Structure 1
Amino acid sequence: MALCPFAVQRLIPENYQQPRITPRLVILHTAVSSAESLEGYWNSPGVVVESHFYVSQHGVIYQYIDTSIQADANVNANGFAVSIETWDGGDPTIPWTDAQLDAITRLTAWICDVHGIPKRVANGPYGSGIGWHNQFPTEWAGGPRTCPGPQRIPQTQNVIIPRVAGGNVPAPGPVPTPAVEFPLASGHYFGDIQGPDNEHGGINAQEMVWVRQVQQALQRAGKAPAHPGWADGIWEQPTTDAMVAWQRSVGFPVTGDCGPRDWDRLVLGRGGGSAPSVPAFPLPRSEYFGHKDGPEQSHGGYYEHERPWVKLIQQALQRKGYAPGYPSWADGLYEQETVDSVAAWQRDHMPHTQYWGQVWWDDWAELLK
């Protein structure tokens, strides 16, 4: 499979129905759309085209089809092209935003690297390289087109392709971290991504982490589907519906949004009478905290964003007398000393565990009391 590791995965039915391809072209498009994502359009009755990717106004990349599977956006080139649709707010004459340019450059470089596509302007309608939809309108568009637009074609030629060819690919930003306290300013809240400026729904990498925390808490509360892909960091109608169901269940005002009070109760488990004071377990129940060099489902501080959670575990072990008391011991890295301390605590408090030295959701609930 060829799924982009920094894209939001929204695989549509065609991903499982179309033939396999060997890509040798990347073709850029404009969607003439103000939508945050296009999977709703691709899945509409009567729509018979689709694209591998879409890049939103804010540079969020959505993937709908594996790049080794055919997407029907390029007429005669469908059997060997990867297509990238892009937001334009309904006006195809405007340029790509800076966030879009960075995202398209990163994505195009990744596609070229994965599939061995030459990092240069496409050398013909049946050749190889990087192009734009109306570069070969008969073969790629079925007739005259302006796509991707009068300002975006020069950006492709003068910005994106030179960056990709020269290795000047924007580096990923800082690793976004989960929040413990409510992370937004006064008057701001989490809600639908298409909402007003003070409504935050996942328009950047950091927001996506926070939205995912809310979504995972809704899953733990039994108000959302349990499969991991549901918590994708994008707040759309399914998240609103799950939030409404949760608010009704606890007697909170039904807004469908997540403000500070909702966050404290839902994500952190604070307040609300009998609600526990223990912070909510931050991982899916199929994963755990364990040695940092353990398997993929073991979270031990290998990535920086895991370390605040590991530090909470270590500090709890210190408070309960199962670890050295000096502050620097709680360093956020789950190594052998932490494994041993957890196992010692489990022998006294979780003697029937099957996973000595690991902190699963039930260990977390008991240890952090």
Structure 2
Amino acid sequence: MAWYSGATKRELQPESDSQPAIRPTQLIFHSIAAPWTNQRMYEYWRDSTNLDSHFGCQYDGGLMQFIGTETRADANASANRRADGTGAVSCESASNLEHTDPWTDAQIASLIRLGVWLHERHGLPLRICRTWDDPGYGYHRMFPEWSLGGTACPGDARVKQFREVLFPGIVAAIEGGGIPTSHEENDMPSAIDLWSYRNEAMSDRDVYQVVMDTDATVQQLADAVAALAAEVKQLRAGGAK
């Protein structure tokens, strides 16, 4: 298996050892529809789902690798591993809850570096995939075979960036144009700082988890109110007879 030195290694087990080998021929970019850190992505793959991805990219551009690129990861449906043993490398990235925001400059720079490494390490051709099994680079919603029943991931803003900035940046970097760097940091808290904030004196949940739990509770209450309203309506109808 192959591990990218530009990413923090956080090996996902037992998937990393138990899933079959692939010969990587594609890199598919995703948005995870959550403003998560890479550590939070790792915990999600480990604890909450049987899906997984090779890489995660948080808002500040930090990369984490969960599975070696010559092992299957389950984020791309039919492209995970094809009958001939080829498969896609997947990279999730932090986004807003509707995955409609653009990649940050730092994310773009990191994803370009990752794309360059995959070309150099695995020989991915410098082209956008023409079909679902064509070697090259793409984004999750590009072909229906890459998802189960279709997906809106990533949103329009990131699709535009992929075609106008990200993929051209990979090509330019390989051909000697250099890899862009992110803007200098400032003192303002980033989205990742805000969503990851946790007041341990009050709760062990971060802001994102509190919001999601609150949304689930509100939905449960709404369902309960709707059920009570239906019962009242039935009682009134019975009393009118």
The aligned counterpart of 2:18 is 17
The aligned counterpart of 2:31 is 30
The aligned counterpart of 1:353 is none
Determine which of 143, 148, 152 is the counterpart of 1:136: 143
Report the secondary structure of 1:43's partner residue: helix
Report the secondary structure of 2:28's partner residue: strand
Amino acid at match of 1:30: S
Matched, 1:114 2:116: no
Please say if residues 109 and 169 of structure 1, whose CA atoms lie closer than 8 Å, have aligned partners that are also in contact.
no
The aligned counterpart of 1:43 is 46
Alpha carbons of 1:29 and 1:172: their partners in 2 closer, same or farther (altered >3 Å)?
same
TM-score, normalised via structure 1 length = 0.46
Please say if residues 55 and 61 of structure 1, whose CA atoms lie closer than 8 Å, have aligned partners that are also in contact.
yes
The aligned counterpart of 1:70 is 72
The aligned counterpart of 1:157 is 163
Distance 2:111 2:180 in 1: 12
Report the secondary structure of 2:156's partner residue: coil
1:56-104 deviations in Å (ceiling 9; x for gaps): 0000001000001100100110011000000003231110011111011
Aligned residues: 180
Amino acid at match of 2:36: A
Stretches of structure 1 lacking an aligned partner (at least 5 in a row) = 174-184, 186-192, 197-236, 238-369
Distance 1:78 1:169 in 2: 31
Larger Rg: 1
Structure 2 matches for 1:66-215, cutoff 5 A?
66-79=68-81, 80-137=87-144, 139-167=145-173, 168-170=177-179, 194-195=196-197
The aligned counterpart of 1:59 is 61
Amino acid at match of 1:70: R
The aligned counterpart of 1:2 is 2
1:147-194 deviations in Å (ceiling 9; x for gaps): 011100111111111111122442679xxxxxxxxxxx9xxxxxxx93
Q: CA RMSD in A?
A: 2.5
Amino acid at match of 2:33: V
Distance 1:89 1:112 in 2: 29
Distance 1:152 1:41 in 2: 23
Distance 1:144 1:60 in 2: 28
Greater helix fraction, Structure 1 or Structure 2: 2
1:123 CA drift (Å): 1.7
Q: Compare relative contact order (CA 8 Å, sep 6+) and give the higher one, 1 or 2.
A: 2
Stretches of structure 2 lacking an aligned partner (at least 5 in a row) = 82-86, 188-194, 199-204, 206-241
Please say if residues 22 and 70 of structure 2, whose CA atoms lie closer than 8 Å, have aligned partners that are also in contact.
yes
1:24-82 deviations in Å (ceiling 9; x for gaps): 0100000011211211000124x111000010000000100000110010011001100
1:6 CA drift (Å): 1.2
TM-score, normalised via structure 2 length = 0.69
Amino acid at match of 1:42: W
Alpha carbons of 1:169 and 1:84: their partners in 2 closer, same or farther (altered >3 Å)?
farther
1:264-315 deviations in Å (ceiling 9; x for gaps): xxxxxxxxxxxxxxxxxxxxxxxxxxxxxxxxxxxxxxxxxxxxxxxxxxxx
Amino acid at match of 1:60: G
The aligned counterpart of 2:222 is none
Please say if residues 23 and 67 of structure 1, whose CA atoms lie closer than 8 Å, have aligned partners that are also in contact.
yes
Report the secondary structure of 1:113's partner residue: helix
Distance 1:112 1:134 in 2: 22
Distance 2:31 2:119 in 1: 20
The aligned counterpart of 1:293 is none
Report the secondary structure of 1:62's partner residue: strand
Report the secondary structure of 1:24's partner residue: strand
